[in-house]
Structure 1
Amino acid sequence: MTPARRTELSRMVVDGELEQVPVDPTVCRTMVEQARRHARTAAAGRDMDDLEGAFQLAYDGCRKVALALVLSFGVRPSGERGHHADTFAAAAAIVRNHAGQGTLGQAVDDASDLRFARSGAEYRAEVVDESAVDDALTILDELLVGLVPVMEGRLATG
């Protein structure tokens, strides 16, 4: 673990955004498999014109991949504040310090931004269009391709 990553994640623990937990590779890998299933079901939902449901599943898949990565580093959102926002913030911190920012960092930021569309659909009955679902599925695919190897590398060395 680099000093920068340790400092950033440690700060998040001290600030109450994250709490330390034991690393459980089975939980991490199960969350990734759930995210993969969500991607398939979301694509089917899009094709069946259930755009809000498809979007919700794609977003949830993004969150689960990000959380699996975070859990592989022995921390999780504490629930003291915005659980989803803290999940994506911790994943972004890991990416910045482990895998470099690049397109993977942008994918984590984009996944975090999906929270706003999800909240609109979930709490204000805002309509989700097909392009939003496609964007969410693209982001989910980028996270699966980019974050899972980082997670697996951490689990192998952890």
Structure 2
Amino acid sequence: MSGVLQWEKGRDTVDALLTARRMEEVPANREHAERLIEQARRHVLSAERVREDDLELAFSAAYDAARKALTAVFAIQGLRPTSQGGHVAVSEAARAQFDPPMGRVVTRFEWMRRTRNAAEYPQVGAPEIDVDEVSDAIASATQMLDFAVTVLDVLPPYRK
């Protein structure tokens, strides 16, 4: 036994993302993770402030909060999505590693990603974002943020 703690859940998926260059290994960086967490907190607050006036902007802010919270988790592990992998890689790696225990919280990120994408690039006749979706997105982003804070001190660096 090497004595080095490794995170095994979702390893096949993360290894595949690394091999495909959709994610990359970087030095684990707590300071960067904390910065992303602080940005995510501000985005949640912004989403709450504009919720009644601009649903699309509020949803986008909540989505960005969720993405940055999950990206902070990867920063703790020494992982980063690449421009090739982007937001889809964040979703895939998060689901592979953390569903369970996070279950619905992590799977909501994919719903948020698709909904935000549909709002950014709307199709003619497509439904618009409603206030309930914004409220759900803010709640989900807050849960992902809480999760990131919880694992900040316990999640080991990822080692391929």
**TM-score higher than 0.5 here?**
yes
* Among 98, 107, 116, the residue aligned to 1:118: 116
Amino acid at match of 1:39: V
Give the TM-score normalised by the residue count of structure 1.
0.84
* Among 55, 60, 74, the residue aligned to 1:56: 60
Provide the rounded CA distance (Å) in 1 between the counterparts of 2:95 and 2:79.
14
- Give the gaps of 5 or more residues in structure 2: 1-5
Contact 1:67/1:91 (<8 A) preserved: no
Provide the rounded CA distance (Å) in 2 between the counterparts of 1:120 and 1:6.
30
Shift of 1:90: 1.3
| Counterparts in 2 of 1:131 and 1:70: CA distance versus 1, 3 Å | same
SS at match of 2:56: helix
Provide the rounded CA distance (Å) in 2 between the counterparts of 1:60 and 1:3.
27
- Give the gaps of 5 or more residues in structure 1: none
Identity %: 30
Provide the rounded CA distance (Å) in 1 between the counterparts of 2:57 and 2:22.
29
Matched, 1:38 2:43: yes
Q: What does residue 130 of structure 1 align with?
A: 131
Matches within 5 A, 1:3-152: 3-47=8-52, 49-81=53-85, 83-96=86-99, 101-102=100-101, 104-124=102-122, 127-152=128-153
Provide the rounded CA distance (Å) in 1 between the counterparts of 2:50 and 2:12.
41
| Counterparts in 2 of 1:95 and 1:151: CA distance versus 1, 3 Å | farther
SS at match of 2:153: helix
SS at match of 1:79: coil
Give the TM-score normalised by the residue count of structure 2.
0.84
Question: Aligned pairs, how many?
Answer: 149
Runs of 4+ deviating beyond 3 Å: 2-8
Q: Which has the higher contact order (CA 8 A, sep 6+)?
A: 2
Provide the rounded CA distance (Å) in 2 between the counterparts of 1:109 and 1:58.
15
Give the RMSD, CA atoms, in angstroms: 1.9
- Which structure has more helix as a fraction of its residues? 1
